[in-house]
Amino acid sequence: MQQNTRGSLIWLRLSRFTHQSNLLSNDFLKPFDLTTAQFDVLMQISTYEPLTQGELAEKVTVSQGGISRMLARLDKEGLIARKQEWKTKKISLTNKGREKLDNAFEAQLEFQSSFFDECLSDEEQKTLYLLMSRVQKNSEKKKMPKK
């Protein structure tokens, strides 16, 4: 087996952190009756509404099939509205969805920030943010063309 490169080790650490953070967030969000994926979807809808299912799928970490099932569930719970606009359906939050997101938002933000606040200085957090922003922008350049 080839020796791991530093880049692959960084990627593995990020993947493991993301997985662990999502598991912990799922437990944390249970009292709000939300999963991490649902929180992310509601946040993206809130930020970019109205948007199509395809636009939403590009912004979240849920697969295309998963997003269809999740949107059906969120619609059934009355958290989102899907409005037909000519040939496309646009998705927005309902008042109930906005209220659910608002109830969880501050607590989830504080919980996620604690991962960094507890072990990194302000300067280290700024550096990490700048570096991760650079890596993310580079990864976006590598998107595969749609077939």
Full domain range(s) for residue 133: 26-140
Q: Quote the pTM value.
A: 0.81
* Structure tokens, 66: 């998963």
Domains contained in the chain, number:
1
User: Is residue 11, in this structure, part of any structural domain at all?
Assistant: no
For residue 146, pLDDT over 70 is answered with: no
User: Is residue 132, in this structure, part of any structural domain at all?
Assistant: yes
- Non-local CB neighbours of 71 within 8 Å, separated by 6+ positions: 41, 53, 56, 80, 82, 91
* Structure tokens, 21: 């953070």
User: Is residue 40, in this structure, part of any structural domain at all?
Assistant: yes
User: Is residue 89, in this structure, part of any structural domain at all?
Assistant: yes
First to last CA, the chain: 34
Side chain identity, residue 19 = H
User: Is residue 20, in this structure, part of any structural domain at all?
Assistant: no
- Indicate the average pLDDT of the chain: 89
pLDDT (0 to 100) of residue 1: 46
User: Is residue 2, in this structure, part of any structural domain at all?
Assistant: no
Q: Give the residue from 104, 89, 98 showing the smallest Cα distance to 26.
A: 104
31: domain CATH number?
Answer: 1.10.10.10
pLDDT (0 to 100) of residue 2: 61
pLDDT (0 to 100) of residue 115: 94
At residue 6 the predicted structure's pLDDT band, cuts being 50, 70 and 90, is confident
Helix, strand, or coil (residue 121): coil
For residue 50, pLDDT over 60 is answered with: yes
pLDDT (0 to 100) of residue 89: 85
At residue 80 the predicted structure's pLDDT band, cuts being 50, 70 and 90, is very high
Q: What is the pLDDT of residues 83-118, one digit of tens each?
A: 887 788 899 999 999 999 999 999 999 999 999 999
pLDDT (0 to 100) of residue 23: 94
Q: What is the pLDDT of residues 20-46, one digit of tens each?
A: 999 999 999 999 999 998 999 999 999
Helix, strand, or coil (residue 142): coil
Side chain identity, residue 137 = K
User: Is residue 116, in this structure, part of any structural domain at all?
Assistant: yes
User: Is residue 15, in this structure, part of any structural domain at all?
Assistant: no
Q: Give the residue from 89, 102, 88 showing the smallest Cα distance to 42.
A: 102
Residue 83: other Cβ atoms inside 10 A: 10
